[in-house]
């Protein structure tokens, strides 16, 4: 969520739709020899309501299960806590992060959430009246992590710090900078995360892939589109491309050995009438990659296009920088 962002636009060819997103260095680390400010005193935090259920930060896991039922999936986060995934055929989508039996993180793009009166569609101006002044950096020890929007002319997200929480509000620039999702991490969890990126384990790889798939479908369903069917063979093609980019330090739709996405999918024996590809790298996690991709016309076109199937592939560089490939099949 923290770093300087860059964006590149759609590249299209025939029935094959290409879209690139290169954040460059998504997290900009600035070191200062300054004294760390003390943590704010613990005070009652706000409530996020989803599907009629109150969800305070610090809620116990048993209370989560009582309110939301059993999760559809449980996936590790880069922070080390576990995301509990809840949805009903990708409606009312919410991720609830749990560590030591208490809620420490929340992400949702559901139109039914409400956080202090902020919902999907709330104008940015109203958010700033409710949450007041956004912050541009987070100080952790002697290191300051700076947040900048991916485009000087667009505010795609804002970060707020209050009531023991770091709150990231994502905006949809194609809908007049109205709210499209919200991500909340409690103060202690964020402060204890002293890495630029999570350790690139196989578990985190699968987690990022599935989270990206879930939020993509949640967004499609919210927009009145059918959910995409997940294909493991398409995932394998996407993973291979992400791995080659990560290992060889390049960023392109054209593979070093097998050519375009159409070439790669065809050589894998997968039939298609249309194929599309989005690639991204450098964001802290795949939730942020999704939100940033949706604010570029080319990426958005692929995500909301009339494809039927999809596979997500994540790989990590030697420095744990995540690379994401989304392959869409029609």
Residues 256-277: tens digit of each pLDDT? 887 899 999 999 999 999 999 9
pLDDT digits (tens, 9 = 90+) for 78-132: 999 999 999 999 999 999 999 999 999 999 999 999 999 999 999 999 999 999 8
Which tokens sit at 101?
């039996």
Determine contact, residues 181/291, Cβ cutoff 8 Å. Answer: yes
Strand ranges of the sheet holding 102-108, from the earlier edge strand across to the other edge: 73-76, 82-88, 91-99, 102-108, 178-186, 165-172, 157-162
How far is the CA of 169 from the CAs of 110, 135, 148, in angstroms? 13, 12, 13
Q: Are 116 and 46 in contact (CB under 8 A)?
A: yes
pLDDT at 138 exceeding the cut of 80: yes
Q: C-alpha distances in angstroms, 261 versus 251, 252, 254, 293?
A: 13, 10, 7, 18
Q: Coil, strand or helix: which one is 73?
A: strand
Res 132: pLDDT = 83
- Dist. CA 247–CA 31, nearest whole Å: 28
> Which token pair is 183?
């991500």
Phi, psi of 16 (to 5 degrees): -95, 120
The whole-angstrom separation of Cα 277 and Cα 329 is 9
For residue 142, the model assigns a pLDDT of 83
Token pair in block for residue 200: 């690139």
For residue 134 the two structure tokens come to 């956004």
Asked if 311 contacts 324 with a C-beta cutoff of 8 angstroms, the reply is no
**pLDDT tens, residue by residue, 186-239:** 999 999 998 889 999 999 999 999 999 999 999 999 999 999 999 999 999 999
pTM of the prediction?
A: 0.86
Query: Could you tell me the CA-to-CA distances from 316 to 62, 182, 237, 249, 268 in Å, in that order?
Result: 34, 26, 16, 11, 22
Calpha distance 186→81 (Å, rounded): 12
What torsion, rounded to 10 degrees, do the Cα atoms 124, 125, 130, 133 define?
A: 90
What count of Cα atoms within 13 Å lies in the side-chain half-sphere of residue 131?
28
Closest CA to 241 of 310, 328, 329, 324: 324
3-state SS, one letter per residue, for 253-272: CCECCCECHHHHHHHCCCCC
Mean pLDDT of the chain: 85
- Closest by CA to 312, choosing from 294, 284, 286, is 286
- Chain-centroid distance of CA 49 in Å reads 21
Chain segment 146-168, per-residue pLDDT in tens: 876 555 556 799 999 988 999 99
Sign of the Cα pseudo-torsion (193, 196, 198, 201, in order): negative
Percent of the chain with pLDDT over 70: 84
b/e code 301-321 from CB counts within 10 Å (16+ = b): ebbeeebebbbbbbbbbeebb
| Res 52: pLDDT | 75
Q: With CA atoms as reference, report the closest residue to 29 among 158, 140, 128, 151.
A: 140
Q: Distance between CA 287 and CA 213 in Å, rounded?
A: 10
Mean pLDDT across 174-193: 96
């Amino acid at each position: 969520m923290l770093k300087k962002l860059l964006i590149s636009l759609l590249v299209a060819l025939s029935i094959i739709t290409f879209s690139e997103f290169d954040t460059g260095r998504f997290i900009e680390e600035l070191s200062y020899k300054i004294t760390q400010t003390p943590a704010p005193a613990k005070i009652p935090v706000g409530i996020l309501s989803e599907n009629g259920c109150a969800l305070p930060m610090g809620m116990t896991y048993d209370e989560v299960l009582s309110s939301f039922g059993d999760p559809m999936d449980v996936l590790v986060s880069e922070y080390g806590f576990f995301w509990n995934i809840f949805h009903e055929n990708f409606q009312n989508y919410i991720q609830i992060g749990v560590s030591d039996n208490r809620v420490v993180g929340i992400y949702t793009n559901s139109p039914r959430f409400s956080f202090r009166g902020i919902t999907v569609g709330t104008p940015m101006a109203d958010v700033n009246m409710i949450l007041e002044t956004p912050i541009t950096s987070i100080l952790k020890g002697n290191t300051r992590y700076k947040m900048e929007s991916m485009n000087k002319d667009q505010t795609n997200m804002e970060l707020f710090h209050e009531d023991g929480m770091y709150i990231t509000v994502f905006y949809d620039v194609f809908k007049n900078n109205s709210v499209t999702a919200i991500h909340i991490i409690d103060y202690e969890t964020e402060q204890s995360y002293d890495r630029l990126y999570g350790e690139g384990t196989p578990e985190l790889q699968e987690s990022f892939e599935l989270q990206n798939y879930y939020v993509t479908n949640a967004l499609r369903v919210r927009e009145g589109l059918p959910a995409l069917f997940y294909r493991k063979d398409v995932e394998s093609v996407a993973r291979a491309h992400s791995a080659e980019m990560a290992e060889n330090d390049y960023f392109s739709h054209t593979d070093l050995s097998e050519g375009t996405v159409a070439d790669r999918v065809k050589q894998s024996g997968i039939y298609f009438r249309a194929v599309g590809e989005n690639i991204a790298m450098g964001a802290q996690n795949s939730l942020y990659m999704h939100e940033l991709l949706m604010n570029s016309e080319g990426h958005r076109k692929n995500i909301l296009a009339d494809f039927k199937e999809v596979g997500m592939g994540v790989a990590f560089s030697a420095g744990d920088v995540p690379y994401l490939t989304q392959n869409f099949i029609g």
